[in-house]
Structure 1
Amino acid sequence: MLTKKQLDLLAFIHKRVQRDGVPPSFDEMKMALDLRSKSGIHRLITALEERGFIRRLAHRARAIEIVKLPESLGGAPNSGFVPRVIEGDRPDAPPPPAAMPVANTDSAKVPVMGQIAAGVPIEAINHMTHSVTVPGGMIAGSGDHYALEVKGDSMINAGINDGDVVVIRETSVASDGDIVVALVDDSEATLKTFRRKGASIALEAANPVYETRVLPSDQVKVQGLLVGLIRTY
């Protein structure tokens, strides 16, 4: 049996994973539950893990998988919940030539268009390397989708690690707090949290080692929005 705070936290994590494909940061959990310190979140996370509702991934900073849900959150009695973090798939078939339109199927292939920096920006992505298969629900909705291999650790507190593959929906607009693919000066691509600061754009890391970059809005172009995450073990 879960306490109200434990249930509230599990519901918040589940909602964010379903929406963004990645778990929230500890700061976001603390704010959502109106707690004064992260120590309370650590206790709740430990309690949920001990009860078998979540699993923390070893050697991966603050990476969380939901293992099951209580019936009050839509879980089935005595059955496990399949998390949205999935194993990668690299088929031998030739990859498609461009980002693929969304299909209403149980699974779909999306092209991997190179690497994206979660750290110091690297060259803009412009080529495809292979394709991956993802659940159809991960790319539900309108728009084309593609995937990128993450390089760097600046987004680890958002559950995005070096070597992960992120699934991106193509779009040129973003809201504050969205994790986006941002093109800087038409030459560098980076994966960061998007925020508007007056006439400027802030690209925030989810790792205190990296400083927030604040740039004139005409130097930043949103190329896509994070919708899912693939992790290969």
Structure 2
Amino acid sequence: MKTELSPRQQRLLDYLREQIAETGQTPSLRRAAGDLGVSHTAVAEMLKVLEQKGLVKRHGRYGRHLHLLNRAGATAGIQRIREVPVIGRITAGLPMYAQQQWEESIVVDAELYKGDNLFALRVKGDSMTGAGILSGDLAICRPRQYAADGEIAAVLINGEEATIKRFFARADHILLKSENPDFPPQRYGFDQVLVQGRVIGIQRGPDVMQRL
């Protein structure tokens, strides 16, 4: 499909890029029409052309939200960022993703890290080095209240201590295994461990990179 655009179509595309970069949101057709000094119908027709040329993708036929596309047909980098909270102090009775005590937040690629209510935990100690998870790393977690045997999960122990370990459910206990022979497996009762999420990725902090 040819991507040559008329001056008005290019102006709309540039306008969309600027607005999304500034606000993180797609402007309404009414606002775009007002800002560009054209009719609502003209904006709708130009959007249709941009979509046909593979430059934007709209959610639904009449959906307001759209994605700007790159040359590979994937969502452009400008719309691929998302903010994930780094959990600090744990508040009893709340799941980790609902905690209000954030140490900070990090920006991740939304195409790689999908799902609602993602959260991050800062790794402390060397118990998971065999899985490539180092002290100071940030473990990105997808909320979940269960874990399959062998999965690396974020768990809350005795309602206070958050940790990242391999999870195993046995007939009469929960076994949390490290990925370092210097740290023996930990055994807990079912009422002592609450699964909070599955680890779906690791972000390596600059302090960790300096040590490597």
CA distance in 2, matches of 1:215, 1:113: 23
Give runs of aligned pairs for residues 57-68 of structure 1, distance below 5 A: none
1:54-112, Cα deviation, whole Å (9 max, x unpaired): xxxxxxxxxxxxxxxxxxxxxxxxxxxxxxxxxxxxxxxxxxxxxxxxxxx41211111
Residue 172 of structure 1 corresponds to 145
**Larger fraction in helix:** 2
The 3 A distance-change label for structure 1 pair 152 and 115 is: farther
Residue 144 of structure 1 corresponds to 117
CA distance in 2, matches of 1:137, 1:158: 23
Matched, 1:206 2:160: no
Out of 173, 186, 193, the position equivalent to 1:220 is 193
Give 1:143 deviation, angstroms.
Answer: 3.1
Give 1:173 deviation, angstroms.
Answer: 1.0
1:170-218, Cα deviation, whole Å (9 max, x unpaired): 1111101111111111122111000011121100000001110111112
User: TM-score, normalised to structure 1's length?
Assistant: 0.49
Runs of 5+ in structure 2 lacking a partner?
Answer: 1-78
Matched, 1:184 2:157: yes
CA distance in 2, matches of 1:221, 1:135: 28
CA distance in 2, matches of 1:200, 1:226: 22
**Matched residue type, 2:168:** R
Aligned residues: 121
CA distance in 1, matches of 2:153, 2:146: 9
Runs of 5+ in structure 1 lacking a partner?
Answer: 1-104, 117-123
Checking the alignment, whether the CA contact within 8 Å between 1:115 and 1:148 is kept in structure 2 is no
CA distance in 1, matches of 2:164, 2:151: 10
Give runs of aligned pairs for residues 126-165 of structure 1, distance below 5 A: 127-140=101-114, 142-165=115-138
Residue 107 of structure 1 corresponds to 81
Give 1:138 deviation, angstroms.
Answer: 2.7
**Matched residue type, 1:202:** L
CA distance in 2, matches of 1:115, 1:133: 20
CA distance in 2, matches of 1:186, 1:173: 16
Checking the alignment, whether the CA contact within 8 Å between 2:130 and 2:180 is kept in structure 1 is yes
Residue 47 of structure 2 corresponds to none
SS in 1 for 2:105: strand
SS in 1 for 2:118: strand
**Matched residue type, 1:154:** S
SS in 2 for 1:151: coil
Matched, 1:231 2:196: no
CA distance in 1, matches of 2:116, 2:172: 28
**Matched residue type, 1:131:** S
Q: Which has the higher contact order (CA 8 A, sep 6+)?
A: 1
CA distance in 1, matches of 2:183, 2:89: 19
The 3 A distance-change label for structure 1 pair 157 and 115 is: farther
Checking the alignment, whether the CA contact within 8 Å between 1:181 and 1:190 is kept in structure 2 is yes
SS in 1 for 2:195: strand
User: TM-score, normalised to structure 2's length?
Assistant: 0.53
SS in 2 for 1:157: helix
Give runs of aligned pairs for residues 1-40 of structure 1, distance below 5 A: none
